[in-house]
């Protein structure tokens, strides 16, 4: 039964709706996301909220609130891993920098989260981002963690899975060897993985290839490398690459009067053996993707681009600084790689096979 006042309004206007219906129809997609956020999102915590949080009017957006939350998490005395910290690093000047894409942070910038911020205020939103674990439901029935310490299998379960997988491999190998001939194997036996602990003691760890994480964000979302104090892009390998370490420390490349390139033989030999430590870290007892990590390091992807400090620390602990015997035959190959890298005109190759349509004065310069 319609009220007489509404009937009167309908006779005077083309459209008459309740305020709720009028606002909902204006942006149906945003409203559906808002309702889904409230109904299909779970907040998990290990402690009970005793006092009611004060409402603080939101004069800022979600991007600023997320930055505040990340600052709180990085400056906290309890350095626990957190979803919001993935892809970000805290520099010495207390500035947080983004080194890789974090899709969770991108999702938190959606309009439904902005609407939630306006409803609950800044203080409550900071509480949710820093002190709780938020999970949202996905269409396939799974949950996606948005904040908090990453919920994963305990490390003991990972070790058990590795041990079970190793037993299966050993059993399969022993059964196959019973039917094989007495001839020696054609391949070398795989060496044990040994790493140096902080105390200098050798510890063994095994990680199956299926457990090694490939950081795709560094491959697909990498940013261009610029020369310091300029806007010119480096063409070729990055400045921090081990092949360019001689250029950072004073180039060993020289040019004769006729323009031909020659290298300082002694410095080049040292550079070759230094590069071997990057290519074969396990043979030099350095950290590598195959060693097991602790629970705190599960979501921290190491950056193996710069190993200078680690190599210096390993050289002080290890008295034997010679190249491993197994790598003697590889030294000439690495030497040839460095030589060809020094001679390769990356910019000319790029201009020939992928010419730029930008004017010449805006083009980047090559780096050898």
**Positions of E strands within the chain:** 41-44, 88-90, 96-98, 133-137, 143-145, 194-196, 202-204, 234-235, 253-255, 261-263, 365-366
Q: Which pLDDT tens digit goes with each residue over 6-35? A: 676 677 667 766 655 655 555 556 667 777
**pTM for this one?**
0.42
CA dist 83 and 152 (Å) reads 12
Sign of the Cα pseudo-torsion (173, 179, 185, 186, in order): negative
- For residue 251 the two structure tokens come to 């180039």
Closest by CA to 72, choosing from 132, 151, 131, is 131
CA dist 123 and 132 (Å) reads 13
Q: Which pLDDT tens digit goes with each residue over 72-82? A: 998 887 778 88
The residues pairing with 226 across neighbouring beta strands, listed in sequence order, are 233
Amino acid 181: pLDDT = 46
Amino acid 108: pLDDT = 92
- For residue 72 the two structure tokens come to 């709180």
- Residue 22, classed as helix, strand or coil, is helix
In a structure prediction context, what are the per-residue pLDDT tens digits for the chain, which is 368 residues long? 455 566 766 776 677 666 556 555 555 566 677 777 788 888 888 777 666 677 667 688 899 999 999 999 988 877 788 899 988 888 777 788 888 889 999 999 988 888 888 888 888 889 889 988 888 888 888 888 899 888 764 545 545 655 555 555 455 555 544 444 445 545 554 544 444 444 444 455 667 777 777 777 777 877 788 887 788 888 888 888 888 876 555 444 544 444 455 556 778 888 888 899 999 988 888 888 777 665 545 556 677 888 888 888 888 877 667 888 889 899 999 999 998 998 899 889 888 888 877 655 544 444 44
Amino acid 261: pLDDT = 53
CA dist 276 and 299 (Å) reads 28
Contact 289, 209 (CB under 8 A): no
Parse the chain into domains and list their residue ranges.
40-145, 225-285+302-366
């Amino acid at each position: 039964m319609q009220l007489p006042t509404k009937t009167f309004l309908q006779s005077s206007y083309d459209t008459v709706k309740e305020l709720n219906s009028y606002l909902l129809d204006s942006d149906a997609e945003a409203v559906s996301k808002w309702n889904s956020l409230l109904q299909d999102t779970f907040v998990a915590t290990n402690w009970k909220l005793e006092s009611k949080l004060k409402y603080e009017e939101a004069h800022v957006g979600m991007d600023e609130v997320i930055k505040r939350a990340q600052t709180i998490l990085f400056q906290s005395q309890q350095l626990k891993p957190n979803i919001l910290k993935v892809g970000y690093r805290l520099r010495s000047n207390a500035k947080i920098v983004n080194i890789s894409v974090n899709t969770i942070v991108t999702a938190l910038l959606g309009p439904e989260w902005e609407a939630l911020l306006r409803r609950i205020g800044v203080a409550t939103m900071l509480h949710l981002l820093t002190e709780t674990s938020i999970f949202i439901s996905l269409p396939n029935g799974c949950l996606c963690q948005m904040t908090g310490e990453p919920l994963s299998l305990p490390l003991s379960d990972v070790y058990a899975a590795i041990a079970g997988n190793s037993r299966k491999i050993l059993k399969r190998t022993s059964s196959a060897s019973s039917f094989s001939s007495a001839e020696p194997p054609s391949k070398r036996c795989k060496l044990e993985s040994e790493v140096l602990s902080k105390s200098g003691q050798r510890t063994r760890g095994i990680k199956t290839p299926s457990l090694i994480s490939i950081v795709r964000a560094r491959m697909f979302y990498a940013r261009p490398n610029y020369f310091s104090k300029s806007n010119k892009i480096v063409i070729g390998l990055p400045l921090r690459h081990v092949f360019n370490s001689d250029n950072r420390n004073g180039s060993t490349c020289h040019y004769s009067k006729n323009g031909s390139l020659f290298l300082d033989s002694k410095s080049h030999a040292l550079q070759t053996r230094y590069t071997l430590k990057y290519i074969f870290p396990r043979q030099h007892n350095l950290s590598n993707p195959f060693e097991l990590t602790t629970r705190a390091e599960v979501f921290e992807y190491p950056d193996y681009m710069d190993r200078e400090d680690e190599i210096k620390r390993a050289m002080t602990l290890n008295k034997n600084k010679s190249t491993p015997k197994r790598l003697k035959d590889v030294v000439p190959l690495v030497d040839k790689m460095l030589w060809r890298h020094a001679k390769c005109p990356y910019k000319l190759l790029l201009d020939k096979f992928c010419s730029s349509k930008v004017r010449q004065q805006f083009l980047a310069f090559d780096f050898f």
